[in-house]
Amino acid sequence: MAKKDEVVEKAGLVCLNVRLLRIVPQIKLGCVFDVYLAIGLLPNRIVIFGDESSAIPSADTRRRGNGPSPNWAASLCQNLYASCDSFAPLASAQGFVGSVIDNVVSNTSSPDLRDQVDRWIEFEMKARNNGFGPERSSLFALLFGTNDMWKFSYMDRKDASSAVEASLDSMFDHIGRVARHWANPPQVLVPTAIDVYALSGKVCALGGHALMLKLAGRWTKYRLQNDTAGEALKTSVFTRRKWNEGLEKKGKILEGRKSDALGCWPVVYGNPEKRGERWLARCQRHMFEGKWDTVDSMHLGAREHEIMAEEAVKYLL
C-alpha cells in the first residue's frame, strides 16, 4: 500500500491542471473565509462534496418551497445555469448531520468524503453503462472543515494538530481518487475552514478573555458550560490555522503556486480593539450590513452563502 505522501504526490501528477489559485480578492466577508478556485472553462456541471451546508434538496422539495434557504452550492449552480450533482448529506429538521472528511480520524459515522466519493464513482459508472458520456466541463467543489474543527477542538493541541494533518491527507487522497476516475484532470474548488471569531460580530467590541466567553450562538449554548476558560475555543482557532496552512502546502503540490498570505489570522490572537479605528469601523460596517448573519458561531448563514456563490461566479466569469 502506498504511503499517504506518495498517494498525494501521485494525485498531484494526475491532477496536473488542477489550479488552486490565489485568494479571491473581491470576497466580501471580512476575512471570514478564503476561496481557492479552479479556473478554466465555465463549468456546465458542478459536483458537490461536503457537509450538510453544501447539500441540495431534491427538485420536488424545492418546488414545494418548504426546504431550507438556498446554500452556496445551489446558488452557484443556479447562477451559472449549470447542472448540479450533490453528494453531500441533507440535514434533518432537528439539526446538523455532522459530516467530516474522514470518519476514522474524527471517530464518527456520518457520510464522510470517502463515502461520498464512493457514491459518485458508482453514479458515474452507472451513467457510462447506460450510454451517457462524462460531462467534460465539470467543476468539483469540496466544502469540509467546520464539523472537523469542532470535533478537533475537544483534543489537546498535539492530537488536534495530528488530526488536521490526517484529515488533509485523506481529503487529497480522495481528490486523487476523483482524478483517477475522470478522463481529464479535474477542476477543484476548496474553501478553507471558517474562522470562528470572525463569525461573531462581538469580535468588534470585545477582546481578550471576554471575547472567549461571550461568543453568541451554538458555541455558547453547547460549550460554555464546559469551557469556561475558553480552551476549546482557542484550540478551535488553532486547528483552523493549521488547516489553512496545510491546505496551502497541499495546494503547492498540485499547482506549485502559493496563494496570498492569510491575512485574517493575526486578528484572532490579540485584542481586536488594538487593531485600530479603521479595522473596527470595517468590522462594525459588516455587522450593520448583516454580513455575519450566521446560524450559530461556526456555520455560515444565508447571506454568507449568497455572497460566497456570487464571488465565485464573478471569479469564474
Domain ranges for the chain, please list them: 4-316
Partners of 141 in beta bridges: 48, 189
Phi and psi for 144 in degrees, rounded to 5? -130, 170
Q: Tell me the CB-side half-sphere exposure of residue 171, using CA atoms within 13 A.
A: 27
Q: Which three cell numbers stand for residue 211?
A: 471575547
Cell of 188: 477543484
What pLDDT is attached to residue 188?
Answer: 80
Q: Which residues of 54-64 are buried (b: 16+ CB within 10 A; e: fewer)?
A: bbbbeeeeeee
Report the sign of the C-alpha dihedral through residues 8, 247, 118, 153, in that order.
positive
How far is it, in rounded angstroms, from Cα 181 to Cα 189?
Answer: 18
Q: How far apart are CA 96 and CA 299, in angstroms?
A: 10
User: For residue 139, what is its C-alpha cell?
Assistant: 467543476
For residues 173-183, b (16+ Cβ closer than 10 Å) or e, as one string? Answer: bbbbbbbeebe
Nearest to 144 by CA among 48, 64, 15, 218: 48
Q: 4-316 is classed in which CATH architecture? A: 3-Layer(aba) Sandwich (3.40)
pLDDT > 50? residue 37: no
Mean pLDDT of the chain: 64
pLDDT at residue 205, as a whole number:
37
Q: Which residue has the cell 465555465?
A: 42
Q: In the predicted model, is pLDDT for residue 305 greater than 80?
A: no
The DSSP symbol for 269 reads G
CB atoms near residue 248 (< 10 Å)? 18
Of 201-210, 264-273, 277-286, 303-312, least confident by mean pLDDT is 264-273
Alpha-carbon span 54 to 88, nearest angstrom: 6
What is the Cα–Cα distance from 190 to 89, expressed in whole angstroms? Answer: 18
CB 304 within 8 A of CB 294: yes
- pLDDT of 51: 84
Question: Which residues contact residue 193 at a Cβ distance below 8 angstroms, ignoring those fewer than 6 apart?
Answer: 33, 145, 146, 148, 149, 239, 240, 243, 244
Nearest-angstrom CA–CA distance, 88 and 141: 11
- Quote the CA–CA distance of 163 and 146 in Å, as a whole number: 14
With contact defined as beta carbons under 8 Å apart, do 69 and 306 qualify? Answer: no
Give me the mean pLDDT over the 22-40 stretch: 33
CA gap 263, 293 in Å, rounded: 22
Rg (CA), the chain: 19
Mean pLDDT of 49-71: 69
Least confident of 20-34, 55-69, 119-133, 285-299: 20-34
Output the pLDDT for position 158. Answer: 92
315: confidence class by pLDDT, cuts 50, 70, 90: low
What pLDDT, in 10s, does the model give residues 126-181? Answer: 988 888 887 777 888 888 887 888 888 888 899 999 999 999 999 888 988 988 88
